[in-house]
Amino acid sequence: MNQAVKNFFWLAVVTVLTLPLSVLAEDRGSGGGDIGSGLPCPQGQICNPLQAGSLFNFLKEVLDGVLRFGTIIVVLAIIYSGFLFVKAQGNDEELKKAKETFQNVMIGAAILLGSWVIAQIIQATINTITGA
């Protein structure tokens, strides 16, 4: 498979996986039971550890966690690609690998940032439509 096709395939997969579905399940202020109610768990029972009171809030928390984790990974990957540039010391083959690594890191960072931007746009649109 061509490298450009592989890059496009992974770009599509990551975009679909990080697409913020939280905006599709808008919080309508429904009760949500004891999930996220802040009430202590009765002794001897298994309680839900999630703080989200609705599907919308749960998905939003998941997206926030993915973005935080992804940002850390991007920073570490940039440091790693910088290390590859230093290690190359003018060797054309290693410089090519370092450039490719840096390019892939920047594509990943753009996907991560793009998913957040798409989430904000969709959420603002839904809020405008519903008057929230």
**Which spans in the chain are helix H?**
3-18, 55-88, 92-130
Q: pLDDT per residue over 63-106, tens digit each?
A: 888 888 888 888 888 998 988 899 988 889 999 999 999 999 99
Distance CA 9, CA 53 (A): 35
Helices then strands, counting H and E runs in the chain, come out as 3, 0
Does 26 score more than 50 pLDDT? no
- The pair of structure tokens assigned to 90 is 């003018």
Q: Stretch 48-68: mean pLDDT, rounded?
A: 75
Q: How far is CA 113 from the centre of its chain?
A: 8
pLDDT bucket at 33, cuts 50 / 70 / 90? very low
Flag whether the pTM goes above 0.85: no
